Chains A and B, each alone.
Chain A
Amino acid sequence: MDIDIKRLATLAKLQLTDEEMEMLARQLPDILAYVSKLQEVDTSGVDAKAYLTDAVNVLREDVITSSREERDAVIAAFPKQVGGAMEVPGVFAA
């Protein structure tokens, strides 16, 4: 199977070294060949959904249950912040 590792890494937003790309180019086809065994199974007529529980539309009251302490801890975990807001690089090019 032909896999464009570079394009895939771009889609996955993953920086890879040349060695990593070389290794993945070798290993991914092996793994995909193994999982392709599934093609042997006839699934025509199978309803291709598999729900593990009978739960549908699990709803809860729309009330805030977390504490101020939790909110502060979330902010404290940001790698960069300004005045309690997360600081990020510009999203739109100037």
Chain B
Amino acid sequence: MNTNWTVKSIRDSVNGGSVTALSIVDEALRRIEEKDGEIGAFLEVFATDARKAAKEVDARHAKGEVDLPLAGVPIALKDNMLVMGHIASAGSKMLADYRASYTATVVTRLQAAGAIIIGRTNMDEFAFGSSTESSAFHVTKNPRDTSKVPGGTSGGSAAAVAAGMIPAALGSDTGGSIRQPSSLCGVVGMKPTYGRVSRYGLIADGSSLDQIGPIATTVEDVAIVLSIIEGKDSHDATSVVLDDLTSENVSSDLAGVRIGVPKEYFIDGMDEDVAARIHEAIETLKKGGAEIVNMSLPLAPYALPAFYIIQPAEASSNLARFDGMRYGNRGEGAIEESYRSARGAGLGAEAKRRIMLGTFILSAGYYDAFYKKAIAVRAAMKMEFDAALKKVDVIVGPVSPIAAWGIGEKMDDPVSMYLADVFTVSANILGIPGISVPCGTAHGLPVGLQILGKSFDDNRVLQVAAAFEALHNAS
């Protein structure tokens, strides 16, 4: 990895005065210009605003602000986060020309810390998908192999970081959408605990599942960005006052750390090379001093079916607001006809599928059998995980059962696409933190190790991730 293109090294150089924020932004723009034609990670680059913001950071430096935690660091946003005056389309034709009327809290916090918002990245429409192929705009390619998908739904953010265009990006994770593309592209991506980071200004997908988090090339960089964006925000009632703030000085000590390995995270049909990398990673953690505890989470296999009930139910409700009245293109005809035609013309296949699915699940006669059952399973799963996490500090396993697949391969088979999320959805169902850390390759493509922790024990997840990263890099 390019060691002088990390969040930490850029921040330290800008604060130290050896480079200007403007020269960093120019370098990021040059890299994007050079590489993004092939990759397609960005939907829009905010070149003018980024240069202007860089000059402001340089002016702050000149006035004595020499310890900005993200001084001059170029950061990209997934296209579902609002920056006032800029387009935020959520990867949808419905919002192709929608300009945000306010700025997301995460963006305000990044800017105050000296970060430069460099542009918006491609994503599956409204964050429905696992490959970024459901974007209404273009396909993003995996920088490790351009015939493969980058994963999704934050595929543009992961690809931009993996290609070395930018040191960090924000993604959002509703069922694995930060961790899975990070795994498939070979970068570090974290879904913090539900409630840790404000979602104000995030276009909602599944409101009880959504969380914003960082993607970067090192665990330390992820911790630095998380330490800035986290914390209570009066604009998001689900955000909480944190007792335990994220420290950018992540300990990488494994002594006394107990790591659970659930047998349910190694399933039939899983790629053998992926499974081998995960087993080696567990061995690495053991050699590093951690205690490995084999365990069973009998309800874990039910996380995915529960997710594909709860998520469409919530998303179909959230997407009701896209009716052509306040945003997007107005439909034709009288009011009912106008709603229908605006939604029919503005939404893509996967969005329509989730809306129909969610509408069915919530409809009279099916609500109890599907939605209510899924909520009950969610509660039962929570009890099971809470009990398991009393015995161990973290749980590890794969992020994805397979490495990156070919572009177009799964587009006609939704159930097979949904199965890509089989190991990631538990964290969203339970609200717990999870991270993907690179742990080698399968068939020449990156594999990510997933580390899950207790609610609000994000620091412990980062600690085990940092320890693994150090051991893996040294091996």
Task: Give bound CA distance, A36 to B377, whole Å.
Answer: 12
Q: Is the interface of B mostly helix, strand, loop or mixed?
A: helix
Q: A77 near B101 (CB under 8 angstroms)? A: yes
Is B276 part of the contact surface with A, judged by Cβ < 8 Å?
Answer: no
Q: B101 near A15 (CB under 8 angstroms)? A: no
Q: A52 near B430 (CB under 8 angstroms)? A: yes
With A38-B306, A52-B431 already in contact, the answer to whether A12 and B380 are too (CB < 8 A) is no
* B373 CB, min distance to chain A CBs, angstroms: 5
B1-9, B140-148, B329-337: which one contacts chain A?
A: B329-337
Task: Give bound CA distance, A80 to B326, whole Å.
Answer: 8
Q: B414 near A73 (CB under 8 angstroms)? A: no
Is A47 part of the contact surface with B, judged by Cβ < 8 Å?
Answer: yes
A residues near B343, Cβ cutoff 8 Å: 12-15
B286-341 contacts to A, CB under 8 A, are 299, 301-302, 305-306, 308-309, 316, 320, 323-330, 333-336, 338-341
Q: B238 near A43 (CB under 8 angstroms)? A: no
Is B374 part of the contact surface with A, judged by Cβ < 8 Å?
Answer: yes
B residues near A66, Cβ cutoff 8 Å: 102
Task: Give bound CA distance, A83 to B387, whole Å.
Answer: 59
Is A55 part of the contact surface with B, judged by Cβ < 8 Å?
Answer: yes
Task: Give bound CA distance, A93 to B341, whole Å.
Answer: 18
B residues near A15, Cβ cutoff 8 Å: 340-341, 343-345
A residues near B324, Cβ cutoff 8 Å: 79
* A-side interface residues, number (CB < 8 Å): 54
The contact string, 1 if C-beta is below 8 Å from chain B, for chain A 50-83, is 1011010010100000100110011011111000
A residues near B208, Cβ cutoff 8 Å: 52
B residues near A53, Cβ cutoff 8 Å: 194-195, 238, 240, 431, 455
Q: B305 near A88 (CB under 8 angstroms)? A: no
B residues near A22, Cβ cutoff 8 Å: none
With A37-B305, A38-B306, A90-B335 already in contact, the answer to whether A24 and B352 are too (CB < 8 A) is yes
Q: B344 near A88 (CB under 8 angstroms)? A: no
* B-side interface residues, number (CB < 8 Å): 71
Q: A74 near B356 (CB under 8 angstroms)? A: no
Is B375 part of the contact surface with A, judged by Cβ < 8 Å?
Answer: yes
Q: A55 near B238 (CB under 8 angstroms)? A: yes
Q: B234 near A60 (CB under 8 angstroms)? A: yes
Q: A13 near B238 (CB under 8 angstroms)? A: no
Q: A77 near B326 (CB under 8 angstroms)? A: yes
A residues near B363, Cβ cutoff 8 Å: 8, 11
Task: Give bound CA distance, A88 to B333, whole Å.
Answer: 11
Chain B: which residue is nearest A7 at the CB level? B363
With A12-B355, A80-B330 already in contact, the answer to whether A35 and B309 are too (CB < 8 A) is yes
The contact string, 1 if C-beta is below 8 Å from chain B, for chain A 1-32, is 00101001101111111001001100110111
B residues near A46, Cβ cutoff 8 Å: 376, 379-380, 383
Q: B355 near A30 (CB under 8 angstroms)? A: no
A residues near B369, Cβ cutoff 8 Å: 39
B residues near A32, Cβ cutoff 8 Å: 357, 360, 370
Task: Give bound CA distance, A42 to B381, whole Å.
Answer: 12
Is B98 part of the contact surface with A, judged by Cβ < 8 Å?
Answer: yes
| CB-contact partner of A8 in B98, B194, B356, B383, under 8 A | B356
B residues near A91, Cβ cutoff 8 Å: 335
Q: A52 near B325 (CB under 8 angstroms)? A: no
A residues near B414, Cβ cutoff 8 Å: 27, 30-31
A residues near B306, Cβ cutoff 8 Å: 35, 38
Q: B355 near A38 (CB under 8 angstroms)? A: no
| CB-contact partner of A3 in B85, B349, B360, under 8 A | B360
The contact string, 1 if C-beta is below 8 Å from chain A, for chain B 175-214, is 0000000000000000000110000000000001000000
| CB-contact partner of A38 in B100, B237, B323, B374, under 8 A | B374
B residues near A16, Cβ cutoff 8 Å: 344, 352
Q: A8 near B299 (CB under 8 angstroms)? A: no
Chain A: which residue is nearest B339 at the CB level? A13
B residues near A24, Cβ cutoff 8 Å: 352-353, 356
* Interchain residue pairs with CB less than 8 A apart (5): A5-B356, A28-B353, A34-B308, A38-B305, A55-B195
